[in-house]
Each structure stands twice: as structure tokens, then as C-alpha cells.
Structure 1
Amino acid sequence: MSDPATDGPGMSDPTLDGGEGLDARLVVERGTFRLDVTLTARPGDVVALLGPNGAGKTTALRVLAGLIPLTGGHLRLDAAELDRTPPEHRPVGVVFQDYLLFPHLSALDNVAFGPRCHGASRAEARAEAAAWLERMDLAAHAAAKPRRLSGGQAQRVALARALATRPRLLLLDEPLAALDARTRLDVRAQLRRHLADFEAVAVLVTHDPLDAMVLADHLVVIEDGHIVQQGAPTDIARHPRTDYIAHLVGLNLYRGQARGHTVDLAGGPALTTADDLTGPAFAAFPPSAVTLHRDRPTGSSARNLWCCAVAGLETHADQIRAELTGELALAADLTTTAAAELDLHPGATVWAAVKATQIRAYPA
């Protein structure tokens, strides 16, 4: 998957073999909003679309499903043009956030609905559905109506219904968003297993970076209708290129001009890093790399030291995250015990230190 304008270090430009897979440039103009996104994927690839609200992720998914027409560009699946193909005739399966199961049908008949629509007899469709429910560990719930299913069970029925038609493109719209934390963990693991066995293209829309990192082979980050970064999950997590992505993966991110082991920030201080670069650069470090002190530390090995004020405090997992302003705006993570010992509160003055070895610098 590639976009020359947005590719970062280490990203490749795969070519679709024999025309198989997804080859799309999705251009949609709706009022003042313009979506212009290029997507390519081979069979077996799982692509995750990430981005803030209003970025265009759901619009892209609805275009792929045939629910919104293209203004421009193209949409090809396995070398076949889908632009003018009605939604019901596309080899596309969709899993919705709210499942959208038929309330009057059993789990078995919900799954059988797709094969029936594709011409299978009632017996053939129900046999196919039974096999999919067995695969999803739901055979014991075949006769249950949706209202009798848990959220995780309903989501697996929805996935089985989408896969039972043997689609060449599987679309998943926030498939785990409606689940509680514990169920989400279990269903995510099961979904990963089923996607690993899926031999066509899958496109996942999600706000959750963990869902994207666990489920996807490729991430495509969309902001304001355009791709701002794409690549393997590990590459994006290590080298974010926008504030949104940095926040998503939990990093402090800055942009400046590198000269050797120093990155000069525009209108800010210089950061010392272990990386040796020249030219426009990003510098990033995790909040956990920051140590806080109420008094200026003496004899510290940290090459980066700034006087800051505490702008806010919030619980972040099992730690306290301090948002700091001053010489450098940054986030710092510390234990509740450390926060209490430092007597942290909004407005308190602290010294923030980060070792040069904890700061990664890479070309902008």
C-alpha cells in the first residue's frame, strides 16, 4: 500500500499480483468536505482506517460498500470495476458496529440469510450457516434470537453472516466499539484468528489504536479527508508524523530542524537525542521517559531539562498523567505514590527531565 506523498521511512509499494485485491482511489465531494484516499491491498491483507471524527473513515467505508457514489477516482476489486455495481451485487460483506441482526430470525437464519440471497436453497443455506456458527463456537446458540445473545455472541453472529457469502471484500465498521472491556478482549482475539484465515481483503474502521495494532497488517491514517500516514503498525507507532497519531500511540511529538544530535524546535528549546540527523526532523518520546522533580536536579545525567508548570492531572491506566506547559509542553506518566510525594497539583512548578537515549529522532 503506498502513497508517495505520505509514505514515511520503511514503507513499501506492493504491486497487486494479477490484478487481484483492492485497487481504489476514493474521491467524494460533499459540500465543503472532500475525501481523496488511495487504497491498495492484496488478498489476505487487513487494512485499518484510523482518524479523528469527521476525517472521512466512515465515508470511505460506505463508498466501498456502494452506499455512497464516487465523485471521482476508481474502485476495482480483483480487477473488476465496482463503481457502478449496485451494493446488493457487490462481493462485499459488512459487519456493523451495532450488528444489525434481524431481530425476528434465529442466529442460524441470520447467518443463512446471505447464502439464500445468493441463490442457495434453504437447506444449503442453513447447512452453511451451521458450519459458520460451529466455527464461531456458537453452535449451541443457533436457535437463539438476537435479544437472547450477549454482545460478543451477537458480534460473532454478525461476522459469520458477513463471511457466509464468501465475500472478496470484508468491511468492518467499529466492530468492537459496542462491547464492554472484557468481552472486547475476547472478541478481539477471536476476530484476529478469523481474519488471519480470511483469504480476501478486509478493511477495518476503528477509533481504537489497540484494535488497529492487533488486527491490521497495514494502517492508513486519515485526517481531513486525506491520508497523512500509512504503513505497518509498528512503523507508525515508532514514527508518528502528526499530533493525532502521536496522541493515539501515546508519544510526545515535536518537529524541528536537526543538526547532529540536536533538534531545534521552532519557537521552543532544543532537544538532545542519541540519533544523528541533519535537516527537518521529528523528535518523539513516551510520557514514561519523563522524570519530574520539584527542585532543579543536580548531577542528573539527563541532557534535556525544562522548567514547567502542571496544567492538569488525570488517571491514565494505573498511573497519573501530568500535562505540563512552560519551556516545553509535554505529558509525563508517574505512579500515584510519586505524584503524592511531589505534591503535584495544577499550577505547581516542576522540572522535567528526559535522557537523550529516550528521544527518537527521524526525518520529517
Structure 2
Amino acid sequence: MTPREAHPMTDLRGGLDAHLVVDRGAFHLDVALGAAPGDVVALLGPNGAGKTTALRALAGLTQLTGGHLRLDGTELDGTPPESRPVGVVFQDYLLFPHLSALDNVAFGPRCQGVPKAAARAQAAEWLARMGLTDHAHAKPRRLSGGQAQRVALARALATRPRLLLLDEPLAALDARTRLEVRAGLRRHLADFEAVAVLVTHDPLDAMVLADRLVVVEDGRVVQEGTPAEIARRPRTDYIAQLVGLNLYQGEADGHTVRVGAQGPAIATTEQLTGPAFVAFPPNAVTLHRDRPTGSSARNLWHCEVTGLETHGDQIRAALNGEVSLTADLTTIAAAELDLHPGAKVWATVKASQTHAYPA
């Protein structure tokens, strides 16, 4: 799916224009969302950030206490959920267990007043698009996780919604099925002509499926942009961990960013002045048991290994000392260095492998 051109919120004569304000005792949600028809927006954030509350507010299941919600120029505040042109795919799919796949999909059109035969004909077309024609008469209990997810998606799309909401749409799937279903969902979203908003905590789902990411923490938007922009310039520790980067904030002076008043100075290739972030990936870190001599790396820190874990086909080492950081290395390299919790190491990072940008 090719990322579409971003549309400014102030020019959304069609599409979604929302300012979601929800007060729930100690929790306060204040999130602005804008998207044009054809856009896919992913809401990302840690547990308790407010993602699901925002999704429920869009669906009309949670009432706004402030702000506004407009879809294609029509005010939806106060419109009951069943009257909104909104389709929802819930995390657990919530298929009707007593209905076949065909009748599950036909349910929406039937609620819109479409005659039974016509609704079932429409449902059959949607199941064919999902590659589920052979399972049209199967009850949900006879469907695999991936098949159930596609039936739920077909049921949501059969009402031809102007806003499609997906709540952790791949969370219930095993890793192998997830890969296959993610690819199929990407194709269906690419063909969807209205606005789609998906909630997920999985960065890969968000990066693959969405044109734009909106990161929410503590009920507020902390960063938004294309997947590439978010991955390249994270602005909080949560986002840095999400995209797998070491991130530091400090004061830049030329080619150096000083982290904290007494913290280390990190050498960079960018030249900046003032508040700045500096980031680098774990695979940019090289570890040594003895202080290296003759190294061209301008960043050198003495650290202690505080943890080791398998990360794909590599070992990820958590380090603490002059700086706290993570480093990726091969299993062989970890063995040769005799890494273990408590081991003292020297960490080096070349300035050319860091990336500094204004805070």
C-alpha cells in the first residue's frame, strides 16, 4: 500500500474531523484526529493510554464530554451507534455463534432494510472477496482464527461504512496466521475508499497497515506522522522502544548533545544548537571487554550488562553505566565476549551512526 498524501485537518470537507474529549474520573482523554477518505490511521500507545476509549468514542459507545466528531461534514455527536455510518471489527470479532458466516455478513445490510435475498447475495460477494466462499455456511466455531477475522471484516464492510474501526484486529491470531492475515488486511484497506482507524500496540501492524501513526500516551497525542517519520525521529521513550532505538534528550552545541547537566556528551554528525534528541539503533553499538585503542568511534562509555535476551536471531544486551542503552550482537559475539549480567564492558558508537534532531 503506497502511503497517501497527508490531508490537513482544516480541509476535511469529506472524511474524519474529530476532537475527542472524554472525562472518566481520574482519566482524561483529549485527542484530535483528522483523516481524508482513503486514509488509514493507526492509534498506537501503551496499555491505558486511551486508545480503546478513543475508538469507542468514534463508534458512539462512549459519550464525548467535550470536543466534536464530524464525518463527511456531518456532526455525529449524539447520534446513536446503530445510526452511525461506522463499521467495527472488534478484537474478539464477536461473530454471532448461531449464524453462518454468510448470515453474519448479511446481518448489517438486513439491519439497513435490505431484503433477505439481496442481503445474502451481497454477503456472498463479500465472502468471495475474502476468499471464503467455501466457508459461507460454516458457523463461527468451525472457522480458524484467520477465517473468523476475515468474516468479521466482511461483516463490517458490508454496510459500506464511511468510517471503519479496527480494535487490535490481529491480536487474537498466532504468529504464522498473523503474517498471512496482515497481508490480506493490507490489501483490503488499500481498496477501502472511506476512513479507517485501527488501534494496535504492535508496531509492525501499524507500520504495515497505516498511512499515518498517531501515538497516544496518558490520553494525549505525543507524536504523529508517517511510519517513516515516527521511526526516524521518535520523541518519547515509549516510541523509541517501540521502533527499537536508543533515545536521549539533551542540549546540542555543534556536533555534540549533552544529556543532562552532568550526563555524557554524545557526538553526532548533525550540527545543532539548543534542545535536541539523539538516537541510534542497538546494532550501532559495538561492545568490548577491554577499553578499545585505535577505535574511530567518537562515543565510548564504560557500562555493566544488566540483562540479556534473545531478539530474533541476535542477543540484545541491556547496559547501564555512563549511559543506559541496548546493544544487539550475534550469539557468537556474545559468547566470545563472555557476556552475562554483571559483566563490565566498553560500548562504542560511531558519530555517523547517530541521528540528532531538534527537541
The two structures have a TM-score, normalised by structure 1, of: 0.96
User: Which letter maps to 1:211?
Assistant: D
SS at structure 1 position matched to 2:356: strand
**Residue matched to 1:5:** none
**Residue matched to 2:243:** 249
Distance 1:16 1:200 in 2: 18
Change (3 A) 1:220 1:18: closer
**Residue matched to 1:34:** 28
Cα contact 2:109–2:159 (8 A) shared by 1: yes
Q: CA deviation at 1:14?
A: 1.4
Query: Which among 54, 71, 76 is matched to residue 48 of structure 2?
Result: 54
Distance 1:13 1:36 in 2: 21
Q: Tell me, yes or no, if structure 1 residue 302 matches structure 2 residue 305.
A: no
Q: CA deviation at 1:237?
A: 0.3
Runs of 4+ residues over 4 Å off in structure 1: 15-18
**Residue matched to 1:277:** 272
1:190-248 CA-to-partner distances (Å, cap 9, x unmatched) read 00000000000000000000000000011000000000000111000000000000000
**Residue matched to 1:342:** 337
Q: Which of 155-164 and 16-25 deviates more?
A: 16-25
Q: Tell me, yes or no, if structure 1 residue 209 matches structure 2 residue 185.
A: no
User: Which letter maps to 1:69?
Assistant: Q
**Residue matched to 1:145:** 139
Cα contact 2:12–2:34 (8 A) shared by 1: no
Give the alignment of 1:178-217 within 5 angstroms: 178-217=172-211
SS at structure 1 position matched to 2:63: coil
Query: Which among 145, 169, 175 is matched to residue 175 of structure 1?
Result: 169
User: Which letter maps to 1:350?
Assistant: V
Query: Which among 284, 287, 308 is matched to residue 282 of structure 2?
Result: 287
Cα contact 2:44–2:199 (8 A) shared by 1: yes
User: Which letter maps to 2:136?
Assistant: A
Give the alignment of 1:1-364 within 5 angstroms: 14-15=8-9, 17=11, 19-266=13-260, 267-364=262-359
Q: Which of 259-268 and 32-41 deviates more?
A: 259-268
Cα contact 1:262–1:270 (8 A) shared by 2: yes
User: Which letter maps to 1:62?
Assistant: R
Distance 2:294 2:76 in 1: 66
Distance 1:31 1:84 in 2: 21
SS at structure 2 position matched to 1:300: coil
5+ long unaligned stretches in structure 2: none
Query: What is the Cα-based RMSD across aligned positions, in Å?
Result: 1.1
Cα contact 1:58–1:173 (8 A) shared by 2: yes
The two structures have a TM-score, normalised by structure 2, of: 0.97
User: Which letter maps to 1:292?
Assistant: L
Distance 2:212 2:278 in 1: 23
Q: Which of 142-151 and 11-20 deviates more?
A: 11-20
| Number of positions where the alignment pairs a residue of Structure 1 with one of Structure 2 | 354
Change (3 A) 1:19 1:261: same
User: Which letter maps to 2:309?
Assistant: E
Distance 2:119 2:182 in 1: 27
1:7-56 CA-to-partner distances (Å, cap 9, x unmatched) read xxxx9761565611000100000011100000010000000000000000
SS at structure 1 position matched to 2:297: coil
1:292-328 CA-to-partner distances (Å, cap 9, x unmatched) read 0000011001000000000111111111110000011
Cα contact 1:102–1:110 (8 A) shared by 2: yes
Q: CA deviation at 1:104?
A: 0.6
Distance 2:65 2:258 in 1: 43
1:229-285 CA-to-partner distances (Å, cap 9, x unmatched) read 001110000000000000000000000111111101103100001111111100000
Cα contact 1:16–1:42 (8 A) shared by 2: no
**Residue matched to 1:3:** none
User: Which letter maps to 2:173?
Assistant: L
SS at structure 2 position matched to 1:302: coil
User: Which letter maps to 1:236?
Assistant: I
